[in-house]
Amino acid sequence: MEINILGIESSCDDTSAAVISNGFLLSNVIASQEVHSAYGGVVPELASRAHQQNIIPVVDRALKLAGKSKNEISAVAFTRGPGLLGSLLVGTSFAKGFALAGRIPMVEVNHLQGHVLSQFVHEKDKKVSDPEFPFLTLLVSGGHTQIIKVSDYFDMQIIGTTIDDAAGEAFDKCAKVMGLGYPGGPVIDKYAKQGNHDAFKFAKPHIANLDFSFSGLKTSFLYTLRDEIAKNPDFISQNINDLCASLQYTIISILIEKLSKAVKQTGINRITIGGGVAANSELRDTLQQTADKKGWQVFIPERKYTTDNAAMIAGAGYYKFLKGEFASMDIAPDARLKF
């Protein structure tokens, strides 16, 4: 029997739909919302309106690219949370309508578990190996920075988390003060390639356990800019590459140091990464180099599966479908969903 899962992701500012057939990805369509770039961050009300406009064309395109009709879909998997409530509501309501019309079951997916399980999204004909359980996932996005111990597909434990800003927020907020627009991560990544990472020193947190903190770094970055601009109004434009390289280097050292500590504490040296910041080229390179040095086994997904996407939701939904775990029609989105 063919099992076709339609996945819907709408937790933040990307509207996405994907189709997975018997575990293999057939399509993954993402409509990103440009409207937020002028505001330096996601505006929740604008995000939910854009989701409403995008969701039907995005699903339509995902079905067409997959070569599947609505009638061939076995279940619809959707992101229930965590995320922005207004954005989650659009995806959840769409999933309910689709399931009701097609008389098919719904599967709820936790967005963070989706990111972790993006490691298991496979396209036919592309051979990639899956990590054995247990493994550690470094989940770094605009909303989350966590180290998760993954014992099985849905047996996960957060062993470290941020106590203030997320890693992606550190990129985005620092980019905003440099006038680089939103999202800041990809732009900083680009400028950093031409910069010297030793040019500036920014504060690093001293936290004993596996938790993260980025607010001190953000403040130290702001103070450097303030002091330097007082001496030279063109300081940012004249030093943009070095600023980006030094900032990125500091963020990545914080992440890698904590990950090394987690490996030491748990004795688990199989590592995966997920979340938008996992698209960062220096993070990917540093992780690989650290792994080679320390004998870790790392699994780095393709960039398109690290940022928000519905392939990971359809994938997680597929495993839940196999377990017969369905959501009821009265399910509501949960902006602070835990697992």
Binding mask 119-148 for ligand KG4 (x = CB under 6 A): ----------------------xxx-----
279: partner contacted, choices Zn ion, ligand KG4, none (Cβ within 5-8 A by kind): ligand KG4
**Cβ-based nearer residue to ligand KG4, 73 or 139:** 139
Size of residue set near ligand KG4 by CB under 6 A:
19
91: partner contacted, choices ligand KG4, Zn ion, none (Cβ within 5-8 A by kind): none
**Cβ-based nearer residue to Zn ion, 10 or 141:** 141
CA dist 294 → 148, 260, 288 (Å): 20, 9, 10
In three-state form (DSSP H/G/I as H, E/B as E, the rest C), the secondary structure along the chain is CCCEEEEEECCCCEEEEEEEECCEEEEEEEEECHHHHHHCCCCHHHHHHHHHHHHHHHHHHHHHHHCCCHHHCCEEEEEEECCCHHHHHHHHHHHHHHHHHHCCCEEEEEHHHHHHHHHHCEECCCCCCCCCCCEEEEEECCCCEEEEEEEECCEEEEEEEECCCCHHHHHHHHHHHCCCCCCHHHHHHHHHCCCCCCCCCCCCCCCCCCCECCHHHHHHHHHHHHHHHHHCCCHHHHHHHHHHHHHHHHHHHHHHHHHHHHHHHHCCCEEEEECHHHHCHHHHHHHHHHHHHHCCEEECCCHHHCCCCCHHHHHHHHHHHHHCCCECCCCCCCCCCCC
Q: Does 137 bind Zn ion (CB under 5 A)?
A: no
Q: Does 141 bind Zn ion (CB under 5 A)?
A: yes
Binding mask 249-278 for ligand KG4 (x = CB under 6 A): --------------------------xxx-
Closest separation in Å from C-beta 215 to ligand KG4: 15
Binding mask 88-127 for Zn ion (x = CB under 5 A): ----------------------------------------
Of 138, 308, 316, 318, the one binding ligand KG4 by CB under 6 A: 308
User: Measured between alpha carbons, how far is 200 from 239 in angstroms, rounded to an integer?
Assistant: 10
Q: Does 280 bind ligand KG4 (CB under 6 A)?
A: yes
Closest separation in Å from C-beta 48 to ligand KG4: 15
Q: Is the CB of residue 171 less than 8 Å from the CB of residue 184? A: yes
Closest separation in Å from C-beta 169 to Zn ion: 12
Length of the chain: 339
Of 160, 185, 315, 333, the one binding ligand KG4 by CB under 6 A: 185
Of 78, 98, 171, 212, the one binding ligand KG4 by CB under 6 A: 171
**Cβ-based nearer residue to Zn ion, 15 or 239:** 15
Q: Does 86 bind ligand KG4 (CB under 6 A)?
A: no
Of 308, 315, 320, 321, the one binding Zn ion by CB under 5 A: 308
Q: Does 12 bind ligand KG4 (CB under 6 A)?
A: yes
Under the rule (CB under 6 A), what is the footprint of ligand KG4? 12, 141-143, 168, 171-172, 183-186, 189, 275-277, 279-280, 307-308
Under the rule (CB under 5 A), what is the footprint of Zn ion? 141, 308
